[in-house]
Amino acid sequence: MTSDRVAHPIPETAYAVFGNPIKHSKSPAIHTAFADQCGDDITYRAVRVEIDEFELKATRFFQRGGGGLNVTLPFKERAFQLADESSDRANQARAANCLIPLPGGKLRADNTDGVGMIRDMVANHGWQLSGRQVLVLGAGGAARGVMHPLLMENPAQVIVANRTAERAQALAAQFSGHKVPVSGGGFESLQGQTFDLIINGTSASLDNEMVALPEITLTERCCCYDMMYGAEPTAFMRWAASKTPWAVSDGLGMLVEQAAESYFLWLGKRPNTRRVIQALRLQLSL
């Protein structure tokens, strides 16, 4: 039996990351690598969006059939506001880095940053988080974004410390209903305390600065994680290494894992992240 039907290729679906600035985004390379692995026919572009045009551009993107959008600084809070519905983790972060189109033209907001960080720590590095004394440095959007997934790992306690103490207190208060004790304050309140996981969620590393901490003790099993990454160890990582902790990591794995979670939300597939992290690490070192 013959058929006169011609097999048309399925048109590729458009994905993108919106931000400002966006020039150095690694998201297109990461998602293209995921799509190659999974055999998906997609395009993924980094788009610099003018500050007052985010809502317009995002709405138009989905009206034209966009399959999914990542959102980075400074639009994460506005992405959360724009969506018709949102996940628990986006609600807790009050910010979204991932928008998913729903049938009927509605949009769902999610936040994959926190789960990306936890997956990097636990699955990629083998760190244990339950029962640990955790210090989170910073009380901005980055720190807030990881609080909920962090608390879900059942650490013994989480202390949030920030240059502006009131912001740390407010962030801790937002999570005070959780069974894990959470408290917040200025850096000076850390004097003499002991930790076995320290997470840097400040943007000080962008200026190659380490936050001004008083004398604290790192346990033998202490792990230190900077949400930032770069070709060289960040100022926080250098500080951490001088305290001889058990392990130190930057946030390159978090970047790839948050992307993988977005990919899963859009396309229902979990790409292999290790190969992509290794490739990016190699690129950074060149």
Task: List the one residue from 138, 155, 184, 245 that touches ligand ATR (CB under 6 A).
Answer: 138
Position closest to ligand ATR via CB? 140
**Phi, psi of 148, deg, nearest 5:** -65, -55
> What positions carry a catalytic annotation?
76
Q: Kindly tell me which of 100 and 204 has the beta carbon lying closer to ligand ATR.
A: 204
* 199 DSSP β-pair partners: 136, 225
Q: Kindly tell me which of 138 and 253 has the beta carbon lying closer to ligand ATR.
A: 138
Q: Is 48 helix (H, G, I), strand (E, B) or coil?
A: strand
| Closest CB 98 distance from ligand ATR, rounded Å | 16
Nearest to 110, CA basis, from 84, 89, 129 = 89
Q: Which positions from 154 through 213 interact with ligand ATR, judged by CB under 6 A?
A: 162-164, 167, 202-204, 209, 211
Distance (Å, whole) CA 277 – CA 283: 10
Q: Kindly tell me which of 12 and 209 has the beta carbon lying closer to ligand ATR.
A: 209
Q: Which positions from 202 through 261 interact with ligand ATR, judged by CB under 6 A?
A: 202-204, 209, 211
Q: Where are the beta strands (DSSP E) in 165-261?
A: 182-186, 194-200, 217-226, 247-249
Q: Kindly tell me which of 80 and 266 has the beta carbon lying closer to ligand ATR.
A: 80
- Cβ pair 241, 248 in contact under 8 A: yes
Task: List the one residue from 142, 150, 254, 260 that touches ligand ATR (CB under 6 A).
Answer: 142
- Cβ pair 252, 229 in contact under 8 A: yes
Size of the site for ligand ATR (CB under 6 A): 14
